[in-house]
């Protein structure tokens, strides 16, 4: 069961409550307008008009609210895994760099991908590949701290921003994730491994491009040295 399916009943309940309140509010306003502005006495016939209009406009307001929330979700999250997308991750990274430069707090980046993921898609099909990505997301999210920013970087690549964490702390966390993924029994495919590249923000003269390049180089080293390992840069 995917993450968004788990929270769907809660979202449905919120939508029903919001719809009901919207309809009630508009109906009341319509009745007040009918009585005190239009000076129309409420009868069975005249009451039906503000009641019907209130329900219609209430439903419209609720629908607009739902669409707005959905658009916001699409803008900030990956459509498959429901974690942050690459674009929104960049906003968190910008903010963390500003914080590090202002207060001197450390932070690190963990960059990882799934070993031989193309073989999974070729052997089992893309639907199974998508299921694997969703399962990996749940495994990693269950271990990450609440403060960690977890995003899908693209394809089978993921990235984690670890606030107030130096290189040694990020290496420990990455190794914990690598071990958990390796031992996890995935539905359909059984087991798979992952490779990690870790780097720490170096301070005032460091940049986003250099930071991400170092993490990418470390990940490449992990691949070159046999995969299923954590390397640092």
- Respond yes or no: is residue 156 known to be catalytic: yes
- Active-site residue among 156, 157, 164, 200? 156
- Structure token digits, residue 59: 């439903």
Question: Per the structure block, which two tokens stand in for 107?
Answer: 């932070």
DSSP state of 42: P
Rg (CA), the chain: 25
Give the rounded distance of the alpha carbon of 80 from its chain centre.
10
SS3 sequence of the chain: CCHHHHHHHHHHHHHHHHHHHHHHHHHHHHHHHHHHHCCCCCCHHHHHHHHHHHHHHHHHHHHHHHHHHHHHHHHHECCCCCCECHHHHHHHHHHHHHHHHHHCCCEEEEEEEECCHHHHHHHHCHHHHHHHHHHHHHHHHHHCCCCCEEEEEECCEEEEEEECCCHHHHHHHHHHHHHHHHHCCECCCECCCEEEEEEECCCCCCCHHHHHHHHHHHHHHHHHCCCCCEEEC
Catalytic residues: 156
């Amino acid at each position: 069961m995917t993450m968004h399916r788990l929270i769907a009943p809660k979202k449905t309940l919120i939508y029903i409550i919001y719809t009901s309140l919207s309809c009630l509010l508009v109906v009341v306003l319509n009745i007040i307008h009918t009585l005190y502005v239009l000076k129309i006495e409420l009868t069975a016939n005249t009451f039906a008009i503000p009641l019907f209009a209130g329900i219609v406009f209430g439903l419209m307001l609720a629908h607009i609210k739902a669409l707005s929330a959905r658009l916001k979700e699409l803008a900030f999250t990956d459509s498959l895994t429901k974690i942050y997308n690459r674009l929104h991750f960049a906003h968190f990274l910008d903010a963390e760099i500003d914080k590090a430069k202002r207060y001197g707090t450390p932070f690190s980046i963990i960059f990882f991908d799934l070993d031989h993921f193309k073989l999974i898609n070729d052997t089992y099909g893309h639907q199974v590949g998508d299921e694997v990505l969703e399962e990996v997301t749940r495994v990693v999210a269950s271990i990450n701290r609440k403060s960690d920013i977890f995003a899908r970087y693209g394809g089978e690549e993921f990235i984690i921003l670890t606030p107030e964490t130096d290189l040694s702390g990020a290496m420990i966390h990455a190794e914990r994730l690598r071990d958990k993924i390796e031992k996890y029994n995935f539905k359909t495919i059984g087991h798979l491994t992952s490779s990690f590249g870790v780097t720490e923000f170096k301070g005032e003269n460091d940049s986003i491009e250099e930071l991400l390049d170092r993490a990418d180089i470390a990940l490449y080293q992990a691949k070159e040295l046999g995969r299923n390992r954590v390397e640092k840069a």
